[in-house]
Amino acid sequence: MSTFEKFNFKTMDEIKSKISELGVNISLSEDLSPLAKPVKIGNVIAPNSMAILPMEGCDSESDGTPSELVRRRYSRFAAGGAGLLWFEACAVVNEGRANPRQMAITKGNVGEFAKLIKTADLSAKEYNGSDHRPVKVLQLTHSGRYSRPKGEAAPIVPQHDPLLDPKVGLDANSPVVTDEYLDALTEKYVQAAHLAREAGFDGVDIKSCHRYLLSELLASHTRKGKYGGSFENRTRFLLNTIKAVRKEVGDDFIIACRFNVFDAHPYPYGFGVDKEDCWKPDLTEPLKLVKLLAENGINLLSNSAGNPYYRFPQVTRPFDSPIIGGETPNEHPLESVARLFDFTRQIQKTAGHVPVVGNGYSWLRQFIPNAGAANLSDGSCSLVGLGRQAFAYPDAPRDIFTKGRMEPKKCCITCSKCTQIMRDHGRTGCVVRDSKVYLPLFKEARQNAMQNK
C-alpha cells in the first residue's frame, strides 16, 4: 500500500507516470472509439458502452413515488447520452426502505414510474437524436441492516455481527430475520419486477451489494437453516429470487445483478474475503456465484465492493476527501481504483458473454474515457459505469462522443459531500457542480444533523 494523495494530474503523461510508479494495473487509451460501441444486453441493444450507475437521491415522495427532483435527475442522466441507465435503489417492501424518501414501486404509483421512463426517453431523444433509446434497468432492494423506513434505524438482519450490530443499535440477542420472512420476500421481488415491466423498464436488478439484506445474506456464514452456512445456502435466496422473477417476466426482460465481490469485512461475517485477512480478497466464491448466475440466465452484472456505512469506504468509491469524521485511507486512490477494475476484469472473464458494467471511475476525472476505452478494448468490462461523475457531470458521455473529451472543470472532485448529505439524512446530488440545487440541501441536512446530535 502506498501513501494517500489527492488527484493532481493535468496531463496523461503525469497520471501514467504515477500509475507506473505504483505498479497498478490501469491502462489509458487515446482511442476512445470502444466507448461508442453498442452492447447487447439480454435481447435489447444499448446504443453505446457507457452506463449511469445506480445513484440514490433519497428524494422520492413519502410513498416512494418519484418526485420532481427524481424526474430532474433522470432527465439529466438521459440527456447525457449513456447507453444504459441503471436506476437507483427502489424498495420492494416498506420495512426495507433505507430512508423515508427511498423510491418504492407499488400498484398505486406504477403510473408515475411510467411517466418517469417517458420523461427520460424524451430527454434522451431530444439531446442525442431520435434513434437514441437508452436501456433502463431498475435496481430492486431491501435495505436489511440499514433499513430506516421511518427515519429511525429499524434493522432487519440475517445474522448477528459483533462489529456492525452496535452501529445500528442492535442487541446481540434480538431475533434475526426468519426463513419464512425470506420465503415470502421472493414474491415481493416478483411483484416489483412485474410492476417495473408494466412501467416500461427493460429490466430489474436484484441488488446484492453494499451489505444490504441480500449482500449480507451472501456473507451469512453463521446463520442457521436453509439461507445460511454453506455457499449453497447463502446463495439460495438470490438464485431462487432470480428464477422466480424470470418465471414471471419471461425471457425478453433483463434480469441484472449488482453484487459485492469483496466485503472488506472479517470472516465469518464477510463475503469474498480471505479467512485470515479481511483486507485480502478471495474471489473463489464470488466467481463461483458468477458462474451460477450465468447458468441461471442473468443478463447483466455489475460488481461492487465494501460497506459504505462502515470503515474503508474507498473500497466502494475512491475519494480525495472523506465524509466528516471519516478516515483518510492508507492507500493511494489509484490502488483503490485498480482494485475495483481488477474485480470487474475477473468477473467479466468468468461471466463470458454476459456483459459486466465496470465502476470506480469517478476519481479519474477527465481521464475516465481513456481508462474506460482501455478496459473495453482488452475485455476487462463491457460497459463503463459512472457513479458520482453522473451527479456532477451528467452529460459526460455526450461530451466524450461529440467533443472527444471530458472537461476538467465539470468533473466530480470526489469530495464526498453527496455522501455526507446521505449520512445527514437529506436529499442528495452534487453539491459542487450542481450547487444551485444541492448546496442549500447540503446546508439544510448539515444543520438538521447538528441539531439532532
Ligand X SMILES: Cc1cc2nc3c(=O)[nH]c(=O)nc-3n(C[C@H](O)[C@H](O)[C@H](O)COP(=O)(O)O)c2cc1C
- Residues linked to residue 52 through DSSP beta bridges, in sequence order: 85, 386
> Is the CB of 70 or the CB of 182 nearer to ligand SF4?
70
- Tell the residue number behind the cell numbers 438482519, with chain if given: 157
Rg (CA), the chain: 20
- Tell the residue number behind the cell numbers 424526474, with chain if given: 71
Pick from ligand SF4, ligand X, none: which does 413 bind, CB < 5 to 8 A by kind? Answer: ligand SF4
Rounded CA gap, 431 and 421, in Å?
A: 9
> Minimum CB separation from ligand X for residue 389, in Å?
5
> Is the CB of 136 or the CB of 221 nearer to ligand X?
136
Q: Give yes or no for a contact between 229 and 221, defined as CB atoms under 8 angstroms apart.
A: yes
Q: Give yes or no for a contact between 179 and 226, defined as CB atoms under 8 angstroms apart.
A: yes
For residue 253, give Cα distances in angstroms to 118, 208, 355: 18, 19, 15
CA 337 to chain centre: 15
Number of residues that bind ligand X (CB under 6 A): 24
> Is the CB of 145 or the CB of 388 nearer to ligand SF4?
388
* Cβ-Cβ contacts under 8 Å for 280 (sequence gap 6 or more): 273, 274
Binding ligand SF4 (rule: CB under 6 A), the pick from 261, 413, 422, 441 is: 413
> Minimum CB separation from ligand X for residue 30, in Å?
22
* Cβ-Cβ contacts under 8 Å for 11 (sequence gap 6 or more): none
Q: Which residue is nearest to ligand X (CB)?
A: 387
Binding ligand X (rule: CB under 6 A), the pick from 51, 89, 219, 373 is: 89
> Is the CB of 149 or the CB of 385 nearer to ligand SF4?
385
Dihedral angle over CA of 85, 102, 260, 312, nearest 10? 110
From 19-27, 164-172, 355-363, 373-381, span contacting ligand X (CB under 6 A): 355-363
> Minimum CB separation from ligand X for residue 420, in Å?
9
Binding ligand SF4 (rule: CB under 6 A), the pick from 391, 396, 399, 400 is: 391
From 25-33, 183-191, 286-294, 388-396, span contacting ligand SF4 (CB under 6 A): 388-396
- Tell the residue number behind the cell numbers 459483533, with chain if given: 162
Pick from ligand SF4, ligand X, none: which does 164 bind, CB < 5 to 8 A by kind? Answer: none
Binding ligand X (rule: CB under 6 A), the pick from 422, 430, 431, 445 is: 422
Pick from ligand X, ligand SF4, none: which does 220 bind, CB < 5 to 8 A by kind? Answer: none
> Is the CB of 270 or the CB of 387 nearer to ligand X?
387
Is residue 88 a contact point for ligand X (CB under 6 A)?
yes
Ranges of beta strands (E only) in 13-124 are 39-41, 44-46, 50-52, 84-91, 103-104
Q: Diameter of the chain by CA atoms?
A: 59
Is residue 143 a contact point for ligand X (CB under 6 A)?
no
Is residue 366 a contact point for ligand X (CB under 6 A)?
no
Is residue 415 a contact point for ligand SF4 (CB under 6 A)?
yes
For residue 306, give Cα distances in angstroms to 12, 211, 340: 29, 8, 10
Is residue 53 a contact point for ligand X (CB under 6 A)?
yes
Q: Give yes or no for a contact between 70 and 57, defined as CB atoms under 8 angstroms apart.
A: yes
Per-residue cell: 252: 425478453
Binding ligand SF4 (rule: CB under 6 A), the pick from 315, 418, 422, 445 is: 418
> Among residues 320, 319, 201, 316, which one has the least CA distance to residue 265?
316
Contacts to ligand X by CB under 6 A? 53-56, 88-89, 139, 209, 258, 304, 316-317, 359-362, 386-389, 418-419, 422, 428
Contacts to ligand SF4 by CB under 6 A? 388, 391-392, 412-418, 430-433
